Amino acid sequence: MTKPLEGLLVLEFAQFMAAPTAGLRLADLGARVIKIERPVKGEAGRQIAIRNIFVNGDSLVFHTINRNKESYAADLKDPEDLERVKKLIKQADVITHNFRPGVMEKIGLDYNSIKAINPRIVYGVVTGYGTKGPWALRPGQDLLIQSLSGLAYLSGTSNDGPVPFGLATADMICGAHFVQGILAALIKRSKTNTASLVEVSLMESVLDLQFEVITTYLNDGGQLPQRSSVKGNGHAYLSAPYGIYQTADSYLSLAMGDLFKIGEAIGIDLQTLYPEKESWFTHRDEVMTLLGDQIKQKTTAEWLTKLESAGIWSSEVLTYEQTLQHEGYKVTGMQQQVKLPDGSSLTTTRCPIRINGQKLYSDVAAPRPGTQTDSINAQFNLI
């Protein structure tokens, strides 16, 4: 099957996470993505590890984000290298970077300079906080963006203080928006045949992620989110029972639903205790505590039998060990292997989008810095 972005050439000057995850998505959708990296050391993300795990000289995180890409080594401060890169840019459809404002201008690879040599380029930039204002030059780092954007006041309980989302959420969501902006600009180019500048920032993306609750805040008289004080609270703006409860042997998730029906299945007469629907919200903590005390008495499996047969939205709470062995996960075929140069392989996940019923796999591992320099020089006549 041909993938939708086949024939598209993307040059990725970007580092770390947000923009390279966008590069990965474009690659999985069929684009040819070439990382432009400084010789030998490559992009800084190669050294950023979690649990200090390195594979074949690069962090496992780098491998996860940069599979299915090529690498071209160039020292952008060296005039000859820069000339070659510019020749390559002339033949590219998209370039991406996430340097702080001013850096590409200094090298001469800013939007206006590039547009002069490639009038059809889609030029994508990721920043932390946009290009103006007092935060523009601040480090665009995930935890800092979460902290400044109010996101940290949505999870956990009211006794916890701020609780960040335990993943690079700002990076991931910003990368997802970046892909959309780049593709939209390419669609526009198909009509106008002109260049475009696409800009996203971690901050705007995390505000967009909160658009439902921020819109509520803007129109309810400015009441800040009130998390429940009950452990397992699932959402500051939703009424009881929304959350995770401890059972006799494990945990149980209960989503939104008819509280009378839920009470009936759990064995509490909530219709008598809380007849007004409004009280499901105003007395959320009381209701959740009542439910919690009852739910503790039986196992997760016992509850699920009762709840699911009553059509109540509920589930068990799984760990990776359980999820990844579950038939419900396996049947998605999300797992895939990439091949390392020494013949061994690395297990990771695939692109989450299916096209014409096909899952998009690729066994191409992340490149070492400059692996494809010679072949790219030859193919694009750069020397």
Partner 1 sequence: MKPLEDYLVIDFSQFLSGPSAALKLADLGARVIKMEKPGTGDICRHLYTSNVIINGESSVFHAINRNKESFAADIKNETDKAQIWELVKQADVVMHNFRPGVMERLGFDYESVKKQNPTVIYGEISGYGNEGPWKDKPGQDLLLQSLTGLTWLSGNAGGPVPMGLSIIDMLAGNHLAQGILACLLRKTISGEGALVQVSMLESAIDFQFEAITTYYYDGKLPERSENNNAHAYLGAPYGIYKTGNGYMALAMGSIPQLGTLLGCEAMLVYTDVSEAFHKRDEIKAILANHLLTNTTDHWLDILQKADIWCADVLTWDKLMQHEGFTSLDMLQNVIMSDGFKYQTTRSPIRIDGELFTSPKGSPKLGEDNATIINQLINKA
Residues of this chain, 179-218, that bind partner 1 according to CB under 8 A: 179-181, 183-188, 190-192, 196-201, 203-205, 207-218
Q: Which is nearer to partner 1, 79 or 331 (CB)?
A: 331
- Give least dist CB 224 to partner 1, A: 5
- Give least dist CB 373 to partner 1, A: 27
Q: Work out which of 16, 99, 153, 303 binds partner 1, going by CB under 8 A.
A: 153
Judge whether 171 counts as a catalytic residue: yes
Which region among 80-88, 98-106, 132-140, 372-380 touches partner 1 (by CB under 8 A)? 132-140
Structure-token pair, residue 270 = 């909530």
Phi, psi of 63 (to 5 degrees): -60, -40
For residue 103, what is the enclosing H or E element? helix 103-107
- Give least dist CB 117 to partner 1, A: 18
Residues of span 34-63 touching partner 1 by CB under 8 A = 50-53, 55, 60-61, 63
- Give least dist CB 376 to partner 1, A: 24
Number of residues that bind partner 1 (CB under 8 A): 146
Amino acid at the residue 293: D
Structure-token pair, residue 252 = 């149980």
Residues of span 239-298 touching partner 1 by CB under 8 A = 239, 242-244, 246, 251, 253-256, 278, 280-281
The whole-angstrom separation of Cα 204 and Cα 209 is 9
Q: Which is nearer to partner 1, 118 or 169 (CB)?
A: 169
Q: With beta carbons less than 8 A apart as the criterion, state whether 225 and 274 touch.
A: no
Structure-token pair, residue 261 = 């029906």
Q: Work out which of 9, 103, 163, 273 binds partner 1, going by CB under 8 A.
A: 163
For residue 71, what is the enclosing H or E element? strand 70-73
Q: SS3 for 192?
A: helix
> Which DSSP string do the residues of 262-307 spell out, in sequence order?
HHHHHT--HHHH--STTHHHHTHHHHHHHHHHHHTTS-HHHHHHHH
Which region among 101-109, 172-180, 288-296, 365-373 touches partner 1 (by CB under 8 A)? 172-180
Residues of span 112-131 touching partner 1 by CB under 8 A = 129-130
The whole-angstrom separation of Cα 149 and Cα 376 is 42
Instruction: Note whether 149 binds partner 1 by CB under 8 A.
Output: yes
Q: Work out which of 114, 154, 266, 287 binds partner 1, going by CB under 8 A.
A: 154
Residues of span 308-327 touching partner 1 by CB under 8 A = 313-324, 326-327
- Give least dist CB 31 to partner 1, A: 9
Pairing of strands 314-316, 196-201: unpaired
Instruction: Note whether 79 binds partner 1 by CB under 8 A.
Output: no
Instruction: Note whether 65 binds partner 1 by CB under 8 A.
Output: yes
The catalytically annotated residue of 81, 93, 142, 171 is 171
Q: Which is nearer to partner 1, 71 or 196 (CB)?
A: 196
- Measured at the CA of 70, the angle between CA 67 and CA 72, to 5 degrees, comes to 140
Structure-token pair, residue 94 = 């998209």
The whole-angstrom separation of Cα 137 and Cα 132 is 9
The whole-angstrom separation of Cα 104 and Cα 135 is 19
> Which DSSP string do the residues of 208-231 spell out, in sequence order?
HHTHHHHHHHHHTTSPPP---SST
Pairing of strands 70-73, 32-37: parallel
Measure the CA dihedral 56/59/61/67, to 10°.
-30
- Give least dist CB 263 to partner 1, A: 15
Q: Work out which of 13, 72, 99, 165 binds partner 1, going by CB under 8 A.
A: 165
Residues of span 94-113 touching partner 1 by CB under 8 A = none
Q: Which is nearer to partner 1, 35 or 177 (CB)?
A: 177
Residues of span 1-40 touching partner 1 by CB under 8 A = 4-5, 7, 25, 29-30
Residue given tokens 């700002």 in the structure block = 170
- Give least dist CB 79 to partner 1, A: 30
Task: Supply the residues annotated as catalytic.
Answer: 171
